[in-house]
């Protein structure tokens, strides 16, 4: 591994007999040993007893005697564990890791030195210089030292604690990692890199540490991540152990006891989405063309025996003595399915910062879902994704909770693009079979290609009123981006020409503003 390998921390390799180990960011990695119990007991970092009853393998009795460790020091460390873990999730102490893969290789750090040694020997023989030959002999001794030992195979136990397991989006979560050497061999150069879930950004502290660990010793490091919608598991470490000379290293992919955070999106809504006229049998807010029970006046008809007195037009009766009955425009509950475009092509982002189009679309779907549910409609969720996403239309608090869970934690709604292929035609047929005849569709897509337009038109020609809610991911700062923006605009205009309603949601405006602007266009 080269010196500029990202897995190698920036600090120099720690000396097992000398200076205090350092963290890659220039700070100090907390290394706890029993002969330093006083210092570690006063520190803020949590401590773990190497020989405690937490299920991990304790250090051998011989090692304890050699290092001067005592049972009393171990009990003191146990007390530190209880104090240090009160604010977060406590896993009960370090748990032995499982090695998923291991690779042994040379670091090539001594190649340059070996070249100088052989060059010195050659020049010494050529020039018959005793000084050069002596330097070469000394160099050969160093080379022999560098290659006589192999990289150790670490035997580690790991504990991971989280400051919060159910944060809100935008909250910060502190992750504390305790690594203990439960083997009987000293680790003169140990580097540990946390496998942070790809979608989470580290906002403070490097998620790695480097130090030397003797048997029974441990180190602690912390870092902070920014929570975002989804469920994430911390369950892996990359471990690199080198021999004392640094000539050989062993890299392990280690599986640890998992720790997880679940970040559910908040329950909020936006402006009500305008829906088309319906003929659903459920009473609701959407007007129909038929007369009956309702609140909006429709017409007068001749009185029939059994008509309710409240529906008789008494003004007409007072004027000419004729009994007439008032008819009102019926209102029905809408059945709406919010369909998300989760294909890889939809993961577009305007610039380097900010959410991509799929994240914006999922946020819009959540708000639209809660808005429609709040106005008495039956709402479901579907998606064109690598995995099946389907929530049947329903209503009520339980249905709202199911939708919140789905939109926050379903694997297909990951913040990162999917690996699997999305079979659009097959999923389109399945969706058409699931939709009720009078179901309306809110298709949430950035409209990145012609396939997305085909989806919207196909649902429209099958008799479903389609409204496209499209987060705009385009920019116009280069000729290529301007061309992409024009192509997307043409696709939206073609859909409008096919009687598909379109909400073009710009990145600089709120969703409610985009819906209100579209409502004015439709009513005009």
3 state SS of 203: strand
Structure tokens at 418: 């999917």
Q: Helices 450-461 and 479-497 sit at what angle, rounded to 10 degrees?
A: 10
- Of 225, 170, 456, 230, nearest to 358 by C-alpha is 230
Give the pLDDT score at 275: 65
> Interior CA angle at 362 toward 359 and 367, to 5°?
130
Q: Helices 450-461 and 424-434 sit at what angle, rounded to 10 degrees?
A: 30
Note whether 243 and 151 are within 8 A (CB).
Answer: yes
Q: Along the chain (524 residues), what's the average pLDDT of each consecutive run of 10 residues?
A: 41 40 42 43 39 39 37 39 41 80 81 76 80 78 72 89 89 92 89 90 90 90 90 91 84 90 76 56 43 55 78 82 73 83 89 80 90 88 93 91 90 86 92 91 94 94 92 87 91 92 89 87 74
Antiparallel, parallel or unpaired: β 335-341 and 172-181: unpaired
Residue 380 CB-density burial (10 A; 0-12 exposed, 13-18 middle, 19+ buried): buried
Give the pLDDT score at 313: 81
3 state SS of 331: strand
Structure tokens at 127: 């020039």
- DSSP-H helix ranges across 197-301: none
Q: How far apart are CA 45 and CA 34, in angstroms?
A: 15
Topology of domain 156-263 in CATH is: Immunoglobulin-like (2.60.40)
Q: How far apart are CA 384 and CA 372, in angstroms?
A: 21
0.75 exceeded by pTM: no
Structure tokens at 305: 């025996």
- Of 435, 456, 432, 458, nearest to 444 by C-alpha is 456
Query: What DSSP line would sit under 114-155, residue for residue?
Result: HHHHHHHHHHHHHHT-HHHHHHHHHHHHHHHHHHSSPPP---
Domain 335-522 in this protein, CATH class? alpha beta
Antiparallel, parallel or unpaired: β 466-471 and 501-505: parallel
- Of 195, 249, 257, nearest to 225 by C-alpha is 195
Name the residue with tokens 């919010």.
338
Question: Any idea where the domains of the chain sit in the sequence?
Answer: 108-148, 156-263, 295-330, 335-522
Give the pLDDT score at 289: 42
Note whether 302 and 312 are within 8 A (CB).
Answer: no
Give the pLDDT score at 268: 67
- Which 8-state DSSP code applies to residue 270? -
């Amino acid at each position: 591994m080269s010196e500029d390998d990202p897995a190698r921390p920036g600090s120099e390799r720690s000396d097992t007999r000398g200076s205090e180990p350092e963290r890659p960011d220039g700070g100090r990695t907390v290394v706890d040993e029993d002969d330093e119990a006083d210092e570690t007991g006063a520190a803020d970092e949590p401590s773990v007893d190497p020989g405690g009853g937490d299920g991990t393998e304790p250090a051998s009795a011989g090692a304890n005697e050699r290092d001067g460790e005592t049972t009393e020091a171990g009990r003191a460390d146990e007390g530190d564990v209880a104090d240090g873990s009160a604010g977060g999730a406590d896993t009960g102490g370090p748990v032995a890791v499982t090695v998923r893969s291991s690779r042994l290789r040379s670091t090539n750090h001594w190649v340059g030195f070996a070249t100088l040694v052989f060059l010195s020997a050659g020049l010494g023989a050529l020039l018959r210089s005793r000084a050069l030959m002596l330097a070469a002999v000394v160099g050969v001794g160093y080379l022999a030292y560098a290659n006589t030992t192999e990289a150790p195979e670490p035997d580690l136990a790991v504990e991971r604690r989280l400051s919060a397991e159910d944060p809100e989006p935008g909250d910060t979560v502190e992750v504390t990692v305790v690594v203990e050497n439960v083997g009987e061999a000293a680790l003169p150069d140990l580097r540990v890199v946390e496998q942070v879930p790809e979608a989470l950004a580290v906002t403070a502290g490097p998620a790695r540490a480097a130090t030397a660990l003797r048997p029974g010793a441990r180190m602690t490091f912390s870092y902070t991540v920014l929570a975002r919608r989804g469920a994430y598991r911390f369950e892996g470490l990359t471990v690199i152990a080198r021999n004392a000379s640094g000539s050989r290293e062993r890299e392990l992919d280690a599986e640890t006891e998992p720790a997880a955070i679940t970040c559910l999106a908040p329950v909020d809504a936006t402006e009500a989405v305008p829906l088309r006229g319906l003929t659903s049998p459920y009473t609701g807010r959407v007007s129909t063309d038929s007369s009956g029970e309702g609140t909006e006046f429709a017409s007068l008809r001749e009185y029939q025996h059994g008509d309710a007195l409240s529906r008789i037009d008494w003004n007409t009766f007072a004027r000419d003595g004729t009994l007439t009955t008032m008819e009102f425009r019926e209102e029905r509950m809408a059945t709406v399915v919010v369909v998300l475009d989760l294909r890889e092509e939809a993961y577009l982002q305007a610039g380097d910062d900010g959410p991509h189009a799929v994240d914006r679309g999922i946020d819009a779907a959540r708000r639209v879902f809660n808005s429609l549910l709040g106005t008495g409609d039956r709402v479901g969720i579907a998606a064109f994704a690598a995995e099946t996403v389907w929530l049947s239309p329903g209503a009520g608090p339980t249905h709202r909770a199911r939708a919140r869970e789905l939109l926050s934690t379903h694997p297909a709604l990951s913040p990162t693009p999917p690996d699997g292929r999305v079979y659009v035609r097959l999923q389109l047929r399945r969706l058409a079979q699931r939709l009720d005849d009078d179901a309306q569709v809110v298709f949430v897509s950035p409209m990145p290609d012609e396939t997305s337009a085909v989806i919207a038109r196909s649902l429209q020609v099958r008799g479903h009123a389609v409204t496209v809610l499209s987060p705009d991911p385009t920019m116009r700062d280069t000729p290529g981006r301007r061309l992409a923006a024009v192509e997307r605009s043409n696709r939206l205009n073609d859909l409008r020409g096919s009687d598909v309603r379109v909400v073009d949601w710009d990145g600089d405006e709120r969703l409610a503003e985009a819906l209100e602007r579209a409502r004015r266009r439709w009513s005009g």
